[in-house]
Chain A
């Protein structure tokens, strides 16, 4: 099973800054840094996530004979203590090899010293995993120590932030991307061969299989994505025929699950895109856990609670998450807005609550049990908290299209950066606005501003609700 290392763009940039002195002209010193690691194991995916970097202070790094780098024991102890205190998975040791202009590899010194380091750390905490990454001028190589006598090469370094980048940890400079199939010739101007190869290797989770979700699946497949995990708990009803691709009257009659209809349609296109249809509610802990298998999340849901939960997931697992929504706003005089909104959530970016897309009042209303919600609704105070949004395919298409453009941009940037908090298109006024500041920023927000579990992955309690709680909210709880 290949093992990847995942980190935030901010940490990666900081590392690159720290390593600059190693790659100036002339004789340059080795340098390094330690990080603490979360872990994610799901299906065929095994990743370590960099939770935090400990920047070296005075005396933390020393140079031994033959210019080899030594991490001071107090520096290692500091990081290991925090790892153990927070029940995290392990430590990552980054260091440079200044003379590695092209390929880079571990030295004999590294091979001799690292097992001793692993032995010492595992004496204090046997579960400690040790990752080592050596960085050259144009390449990097990584390995995992399970114990002093057993190591495994790492496959990729995945960096998530304003863009999504993949770096091979095989010690070789990046090689040219394979020539894509003729099918994608006309899209190469926007998504080149390298980005296309990345997209073809991604597993994208699409949450919500209604109008926008079906369109996003179609756009992903036609862009070259080859693996989609599609999540929704609903079946096709007559009201869905106006906007869900591939849904038929027969599906209405049979009550076919939405995810199954879209799987059938997308796989029938002959584009070599496989869709895993997951019929379940993403609020459910077991269903939410399926997202750990994905590289990328696209939310096409119309409620606040799943949106906020997907944000929490994105920060916990360092996953990029694009949230797409459309809304028809009106008053007694008629239609006042036709909005298509795209928001991008990633480490270092605001959550949907701080962006003002989701409110704590909306979350309150949506996450009460169904009978409790009815009592609140009967009071009349929550009339503005509409549960069933009006939806038409034409507006869904605009939202899905903007969302797909952001996906392409993250793999091969072409939009103005940094991406705004949200891209808001209002058809009534023919305007597209970039909302650059979060509308409801809470400096203490436990999701995006002061998240104490960011990057923890599986090392913190599972996100989501148990089945009974989901049933209570959806109105199916046994009384």
Chain B
């Protein structure tokens, strides 16, 4: 039940060598993006896998936030933004990260897409409030 727009984007990203795949659980579509780079320390490893929930109305609907594969450690503890619900997808546990677009820089249909959202998500690991691109 993944929207056609995200199917097309995942295919295009995969062809360019980005490690992404579509996963569907309980009628909800996700994109699993592997090996998102992170500086270690403060993170306990140099890359993480993340999950992005894809709304059915994508690409009219924006993307927002993501799930982080568990377990993880940040400064040998937890990260204050990793406090959300925990789900099981592909026999792994994932926790929702509160990582949103700033009010002044909302998602723009036709300009933003899955690739720009993954860039936005990378900003979380770099621990900067970057939005959209760098």
Interface residues of A (CB under 8 A from B): 283, 305, 308-309, 312, 353, 359-361, 363-369, 371-372, 374-376, 378-379, 381, 442, 444-447, 450, 461, 465-466, 468-469, 471-473, 477, 479
Question: Which residue of A has the minimal Cβ distance to B4?
Answer: A461
Known: A361-B62, A363-B61, A371-B28. A379 touches B109 (CB 8 A): no
**How big is chain B's contact interface, by range?**
20 to 34
Which residues of B (11-51) have their CB < 8 Å from a CB of A?
Answer: 26-28
Known: A376-B65, A379-B84, A465-B1. A367 touches B56 (CB 8 A): yes
The answer for the CA separation of A367 and B2 in the assembled complex, in Å, is 12
Main secondary structure of the interface of B (DSSP, over half): loop
Contact call A360/B111, Cβ cutoff below 8 A: no
Contact call A472/B57, Cβ cutoff below 8 A: no
Most chain B beta-carbon contacts within 10 A, residue among A312, A363, A365, A444: A363
Task: Quote the shortest CB–CB distance from A382 to chain B (angstroms).
Answer: 9
Task: Quote the shortest CB–CB distance from B58 to chain A (angstroms).
Answer: 8
Contact with A along B93-114 (1 / 0, CB 8 A): 0001010100000111111000
Taking CB atoms, residues of chain A closer than 8 Å to B108 are 360, 442
CB of B60 within 8 A of chain A?
yes
Most chain A beta-carbon contacts within 10 A, residue among B26, B28, B57: B57
CB of B53 within 8 A of chain A?
yes
The answer for the CA separation of A447 and B64 in the assembled complex, in Å, is 21
Contact call B27/A363, Cβ cutoff below 8 A: no
Which residues of B (81-134) have their CB < 8 Å from a CB of A?
Answer: 83-85, 87, 96, 98, 100, 106-111
Question: Which residue of A has the minimal Cβ distance to B27?
Answer: A472
Contact call B62/A471, Cβ cutoff below 8 A: no
The answer for the CA separation of A450 and B59 in the assembled complex, in Å, is 14
Contact among A353, A364, A469 for B1, CB-based, below 8 A: A469
Contact call A447/B60, Cβ cutoff below 8 A: yes
Question: Which residue of B has the minimal Cβ distance to A382?
Answer: B64
Taking CB atoms, residues of chain A closer than 8 Å to B65 are 376, 379, 381
CB of B63 within 8 A of chain A?
yes
Known: A379-B98, A446-B109, A469-B27. A360 touches B62 (CB 8 A): yes
13 pairs from A and B in contact (CB 8 Å cutoff)? A283-B56, A308-B60, A360-B106, A360-B107, A367-B56, A367-B57, A372-B53, A379-B83, A444-B110, A445-B109, A461-B4, A465-B1, A472-B27
Given A364-B55, A371-B28, 6 more contacts at CB 8 Å? A360-B61, A360-B107, A368-B56, A369-B26, A446-B59, A468-B1
Known: A371-B28, A375-B84, A472-B1. A363 touches B57 (CB 8 A): yes
Closest 9 CB pairs of A and B: A472-B27, A444-B110, A363-B61, A375-B85, A367-B57, A369-B28, A360-B62, A367-B55, A367-B56
Task: Quote the shortest CB–CB distance from A322 to chain B (angstroms).
Answer: 20
Task: Quote the shortest CB–CB distance from B53 to chain A (angstroms).
Answer: 5
Taking CB atoms, residues of chain A closer than 8 Å to B56 are 283, 305, 367-368, 465, 469, 472-473
The answer for the CA separation of A368 and B107 in the assembled complex, in Å, is 17
Question: Which residue of A has the minimal Cβ distance to B106?
Answer: A361
The answer for the CA separation of A363 and B4 in the assembled complex, in Å, is 16
Contact call A442/B110, Cβ cutoff below 8 A: yes
Taking CB atoms, residues of chain A closer than 8 Å to B98 are 379, 381
Question: Which residue of A has the minimal Cβ distance to B96?
Answer: A375
Question: Which residue of A has the minimal Cβ distance to B2?
Answer: A469
Known: A353-B60, A364-B55. A381 touches B27 (CB 8 A): no
Known: A378-B85, A445-B109, A447-B60. A363 touches B55 (CB 8 A): yes
The answer for the CA separation of A252 and B2 in the assembled complex, in Å, is 37
Task: Quote the shortest CB–CB distance from B132 to chain A (angstroms).
Answer: 13
Task: Quote the shortest CB–CB distance from A452 to chain B (angstroms).
Answer: 12
Contact among A365, A379, A447 for B96, CB-based, below 8 A: A379
Taking CB atoms, residues of chain A closer than 8 Å to B63 are 364
Contact among B58, B87, B100, B109 for A353, CB-based, below 8 A: B109
The answer for the CA separation of A54 and B83 in the assembled complex, in Å, is 57
